[in-house]
Amino acid sequence: MENTGIWVAVAVIVFVMGSIFGLR
């Protein structure tokens, strides 16, 4: 797991996108 930072960034982006579409 050398790309942990990348996976964390992807998870954050997915969470933010889900929250935005969830509110709309």
> Which tokens is 16 given?
């933010």
Read off the amino acid at residue 23: L
Residue given tokens 């889900």 in the structure block:
18
pLDDT tens, N- to C-terminus, the chain (24 residues): 688 999 999 999 999 999 999 877
- pLDDT of amino acid 2: 81
- pLDDT of amino acid 14: 96
Give the C-alpha separation, 6 to 4, whole Å: 5
